[in-house]
Amino acid sequence: MFVRASDYKYPNAMSTSSEELLKSFDLLPEVEKREVVSEIIRRTFSLGREPAIDEHQLKSLYASFADEDHELAEEGMEGYNKSLAIEDAQ
């Protein structure tokens, strides 16, 4: 007997194991397979919608990355200066 996911009245009644999902998908008619795939693609890539950009969050992220880059550069310069001093001593 073929049962569509939309026939379930309770969302928790449907099993979600990968194998069972693939078996159920294989039993779908081609038209419904295309609909399922289209819906997955639509939900995955959110076609037609631009994600909301939080300017404040971006500014704070850039600032934190700039701080981290500066710290790493300072650490790198300290190591470089030490290696130069060792090289000069030889």
Q: Is 56 exposed, middle or buried (0-12, 13-18, 19+ CB in 10 A)?
A: exposed
Which pLDDT belongs to residue 10?
44
pLDDT of 17 reads: 81
Question: How far is C-alpha 43 from the geometric centre of its chain's CA atoms?
Answer: 13
Q: Does the pLDDT at position 85 exceed 60?
A: yes
Model pLDDT, residue 48: 60
Among 52, 24, 46, CA closest to 36: 24
- Give 19-78 pLDDT, tens digit per residue: 888 888 888 888 888 888 888 887 777 656 666 777 888 888 888 888 888 888 888 888
pLDDT for res 5: 55
Q: Does the pLDDT value for residue 1 go beyond 50?
A: no
For every residue of 35-54, DSSP letters joined together read HHHHHHHHHHHTTT-PPP--
